[in-house]
């Protein structure tokens, strides 16, 4: 059986570019392009309830993140991939991201039902930014651009990635933080335990997919950023399944602050509460 997908604008160029990269064919699903259509073999979807095996996922991503570039794409990620502000000559990636976040926050008139969640997530994000804003990147990774469980399939016993229309560049840690958040902030009744998130990130660290410094930035800076973005986009009516996602945010964001963020390693050093 086969799956036929109509290719979005520029998607044809992007999937062909990915195929030419080192290990590109090993991370994407095999395909044939006919005109504006992509023909692929049917593959088993990985559901949110199942969630990809972290060891196999780390092995896949270790192949993908071998290529680097000297610049980053505008916009935060697939949520705002075109960017609200121009990066211009900004060399510090997270200072550029701060401008993007400030614009999203400024354009959001927070409804009363989201005030507490927005305050909680923004507090973690602001503290994380103060700690990590001067992080310097010598190079950036090529990113899938929309890495979540829905874009991971199992083909002949191995994981492959699909839907490359958001292909971009940036630090891999921002993509991995998004990936780790997906199941937690997607459907309230199906979210996994926070200790599973820590365990998964520990596996990524042990397999050297991320360094200890990247692990800390994911936990104490970037996951809170994605939590804040989720709240802002729900508040602004920009996401589907608002009721389910709102329920998940109400369950997870305060819990994350109490169980994980509270024990950030730089708490005493920063002097911020």
Residue 5, pLDDT score: 86
Read off the pLDDT of residues 214-224 as tens digits, 9 standing for 90 and up: 999 999 999 99
Residue 57, pLDDT score: 95
Residue 273, pLDDT score: 44
Residue whose entry in the numeric block shows the structure tokens 């990809």: 52
Residue 270, pLDDT score: 43
Residue 160, pLDDT score: 94
Q: What is the length of the chain?
A: 273
Report the C-alpha gap between 214 and 121 in whole angstroms.
Answer: 20
Residue 82, pLDDT score: 58
Provide the token pair at 69: 């570039």
Burial of 176 (0-12, 13-18, 19+ CB in 10 A): buried
Provide the token pair at 51: 């969630």
Residue 12, pLDDT score: 82
The answer to whether 43 touches 1, Cβ cutoff 8 Å, is: no
**Alpha-carbon 171 to chain mean position:** 11
Residue 10, pLDDT score: 79
In the sheet that holds 140-143, the strands lie side by side as: 68-69, 140-143, 168-170
Residue 245, pLDDT score: 86
Residue 124, pLDDT score: 96
Number of helices (H) and strands (E) in the chain: give both, helices first.
11, 9
Which ranges of the chain does DSSP label H, i.e. alpha helix? 11-20, 24-27, 54-64, 93-106, 115-132, 172-182, 194-206, 212-217, 223-235, 242-259, 267-270
Residue 58, pLDDT score: 97
**Residue ranges of the chain with pLDDT lower than 70?**
47-49, 79-83, 187-192, 267-273
Residue 8, pLDDT score: 79
């Amino acid at each position: 059986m086969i799956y036929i997908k109509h290719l979005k604008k520029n998607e044809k160029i992007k999937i062909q570019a990915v195929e030419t990269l080192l290990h590109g064919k090993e991370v994407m699903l095999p395909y044939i392009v006919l005109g504006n259509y992509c023909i692929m073999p049917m593959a088993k979807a990985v559901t949110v309830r199942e969630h990809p095996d972290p060891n196999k996922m780390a092995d896949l991503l270790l192949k993908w993140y071998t290529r680097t570039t000297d610049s980053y794409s505008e916009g935060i990620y697939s949520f705002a991939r075109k960017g609200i502000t121009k990066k211009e000559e900004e060399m510090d990636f997270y200072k550029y991201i701060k401008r993007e976040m400030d614009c999203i926050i400024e354009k959001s008139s927070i409804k009363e039902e989201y005030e507490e969640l927005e305050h909680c997530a923004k507090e973690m994000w602001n503290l994380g930014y103060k700690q990590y804003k001067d992080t310097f990147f010598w190079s950036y990774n090529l990113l899938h651009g929309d890495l979540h469980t829905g874009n991971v399939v199992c083909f002949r016993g191995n994981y492959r990635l699909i839907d490359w229309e958001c292909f971009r560049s940036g630090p891999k840690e921002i993509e991995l933080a998004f990936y780790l958040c997906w199941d937690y902030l997607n459907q309230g009744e199906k979210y996994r335990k926070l200790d599973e998130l820590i365990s998964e990130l520990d596996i990524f660290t042990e397999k050297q997919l991320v360094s200890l410094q990247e692990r800390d930035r994911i936990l104490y800076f970037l996951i809170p950023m994605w939590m804040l973005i989720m709240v802002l986009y729900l508040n602004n009516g920009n996401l589907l399944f608002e009721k389910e996602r709102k329920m998940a945010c109400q369950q997870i964001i305060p819990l994350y602050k109490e169980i994980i963020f509270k024990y950030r390693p730089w708490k005493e050093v920063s002097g911020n509460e």
